[in-house]
Structures are given as structure tokens and as C-alpha cells.
Structure 1
């Protein structure tokens, strides 16, 4: 099996209504089509890399390429794990986790999006809770960070509900415009105090060396 050679394909993170995993080909096609169908209002841009500012076929192709690129470049020193989110077997979005020199920093970042029909149902909070459990309980992280732009209260609301604290601002050039990003930071202690979602992880142990992780502290 391919997962014998790339064990991240066997990783599953589950909550009461969601499953997060690296997608198979059919699921990746569904994710690309979901992105092409729209993620946000046309006059907004919630992403640092404005991949949705393109025709639908280009958006779909960029989603596929991002997933292949992330798998090809993944290694212990730097990795991005773009997990596809399924609800009742239906692809609803993606929740990513990333790190650089994780074995040294014990720090992760995250990013996500949902198809528009699946927004406003609490899925965004649940899927972020899932990858935070993967980071803290599974990998042994000490810090998680997130950032959202002005005009994206949903993302900021998820961060605050899960216990992140404000961590300043940053200025970014996005599509030729200066955008203000609001930074958030979550410590292990704050994560433990705000945990409300039951999460289970399967298939993690063989993945740890690929992610530069030793697992949670004992």
C-alpha cells in the first residue's frame, strides 16, 4: 500500500461529526470543485496568497497543485499538512497545519477554508479544534499561532473561542494593497483550559519522524 511508504496517507483525525485526512484522488477533485464554486464574497479577500482571485478552473487547479506540492516538499525541517475535512463523508473544506523546525520550536501555524454552503455551522471551530488536538496531544506542540485579516471576523472568532490570545498585528501586501493581519497565539496551557471537542487520532505514530516530532510529553 502507498501508505506503507508515505504514512501520512493513513493519518485520520476525527471529531463527533468530522474526519480530517490527506485526500484520495476523488476527494481532492471534490475539494478543487468546492473551491471553484466559491469560498468568500467576491469583494473580499481573506487569504494572504489570493488564489481565489482567478477563474474557477484556475482556482481548482491551484488547489490540486498545492496538495501535490505540500506532499512533495514535506520533511522534518519544514512541512505543511493540508488535511481535507469531511462531514458525513462529504468534502466541506480544508484545514492545514504547518511548522518549520518543529523539533526545535515546538510551534505550529494553521490555515483553513470552507465551501460557502458549509459556513456558519460551527464546522470551522470544530476542525480547528481537531488540528490543535493533533498538534498539542499528538505532536507535543507548545505553541500554536493564527492570523486573520480585517474583515474576517469568523476566523478571529474561532481563534478566540478556542483560547487564543491577541498577539499584535502585521502588515502584508496582498494583491497590491496593504492589509492588516491580526495575530493570535495559543499556549498549551490555554489549549487545555479551552478544550471542548472530543478528538481521536489514528495512524499518527509512523508519521512522527516525517514531522520532526517525538509525540506528547510523558
Structure 2
């Protein structure tokens, strides 16, 4: 079981079936808030849907293709974060994250993104970490900016959000830049 302690109040844990109820309740309680930027809310209607998400994440982890973890803050599940994609050939990981509405503004996700970047570049020996952010999602974009990622470009119509496409701004950092 993957568990990564970030500091005295924050850690990352690979989700298990026993976490489905709590993760679903967090999702359901933040549904309207999260729906603005995340395309999967309408297909997550039951605890069973969350169990399927957890199983998919565990499969990606066992195949070494992704790593989806729960963000644990003071012993409570507050969101998810991890590597949506791990490209071993090119030594690139792509970070994704979301946080329940009531846990915003505490610096949680900045610390998580920093820990994931450290882990990717220093433990996994990756060369590049990338974060894609929907245009207009200023809270999410503030995280890579705060951590020194460089804005590298824009992907047009990168994601379908219910009834429209959104562009993504891509932020990246290289191992030699991170170590400085």
C-alpha cells in the first residue's frame, strides 16, 4: 500500500475499497463546486461509481501507468491528487488534483503538488512534471505558478466540460530547474 507522509497534518494514500464511502461523500458534498472544472461529476452518482474509480486507480498503479492517491488532511479525506499519466520512456509525469470545497484556501494542494513533484523528480528520477489547467481556473493555475513551473503553452479544446470545450494551459518544470 502506497502512503506518503508530507508533513504532520498531510499525507497521500492509495485509495482502497474501504475508502469509497468517504470519498463519495466528499465528492457529493462538493458536487456543484467541482462541476465547474471537472468533467466526471455527472457520471459519479453512487458509491459504486467511486469504487470503480478506486479500482481503476489501483489498476493504473499496479501497471505503473498512473498513481491516484487520496489527500489526507488531519486524518480526513479532503481530495485526490496524483499522476494522471506516467511516461517512463520520456520520463514525464502529469499531475492532476482536486480538493473538496470546504478545504480550499489552506495551502493543502500547493503542499501536495510540491510533494508529488519532489517524488517524481527525486524518487522516480523523472525529468519533467506537467500540470494542465483549464483556462479560467485561476485557483488551480496558482499552484504550479507558486511552485515555479513555467507556462509553456495552450492546448485548444483540450477537454469537454458538459456542454462546451475548455482550453488548457500547460505548466511544466524540469528536474534541473526543480533542484535549483
Bin for the TM-score computed over the shorter chain: 0.7 to 0.9
Asked if the contact 2:33/2:101 (under 8 Å) is kept, the reply is no
Residue 93 of structure 2: SS of its match in structure 1? strand
Asked if the contact 1:13/1:134 (under 8 Å) is kept, the reply is no
The 1-side partners of 2:84 and 2:150 are apart by 19
Q: What is the aligned residue count?
A: 176
Asked if the contact 1:14/1:130 (under 8 Å) is kept, the reply is no
The reply on whether 1:45 has 2:36 as its aligned counterpart is: yes
Q: Which has the higher contact order (CA 8 A, sep 6+)?
A: 1
The 2-side partners of 1:176 and 1:105 are apart by 34
1:72 is displaced (CA, Å) by 2.5
Higher strand share: 2
Give the counterpart of 1:156 among 134, 141, 165. 141
Residues 100-151 of structure 1 deviation map (CA, whole Å, 9 limit, x = unaligned): 441x211000111111110111001011111112111110111000111122
- With 65-74 and 152-161 compared, the bigger mean Cα shift is at 65-74
Q: What TM-score, normalized by structure 2, do the two folds share? A: 0.87
The 1-side partners of 2:102 and 2:126 are apart by 32
The reply on whether 1:126 has 2:117 as its aligned counterpart is: no
Match of 2:49 in 1: 62
Equivalent positions of 1:86-105 (< 5 A) are 86-102=72-88, 104-105=89-90
Unpaired runs of 5+ residues, structure 2, are none
Match of 2:24 in 1: 32
Residues 173-203 of structure 1 deviation map (CA, whole Å, 9 limit, x = unaligned): 512412111111111122223xxxxxxxxxx
The 1-side partners of 2:175 and 2:32 are apart by 31
1:19 is displaced (CA, Å) by 1.0
Equivalent positions of 1:126-205 (< 5 A) are 126-172=111-157, 173-174=159-160, 175-193=162-180
The 1-side partners of 2:167 and 2:28 are apart by 26
Residue 33 of structure 2: SS of its match in structure 1? coil
The 1-side partners of 2:98 and 2:139 are apart by 11
Residue 14 of structure 1: SS of its match in structure 2? strand
Give the aligned CA root-mean-square deviation in angstroms.
Answer: 2.0
The reply on whether 1:14 has 2:1 as its aligned counterpart is: no
Question: 4+ residue runs of structure 1 moved beyond 4 angstroms?
Answer: none
Residues 5-56 of structure 1 deviation map (CA, whole Å, 9 limit, x = unaligned): xxxx1x22112221101123333321111011115537x6213xx11135xx
Asked if the contact 1:94/1:114 (under 8 Å) is kept, the reply is yes
Give the counterpart of 1:117 among 102, 110, 118. 102
The 1-side partners of 2:31 and 2:127 are apart by 31
The 2-side partners of 1:53 and 1:75 are apart by 27
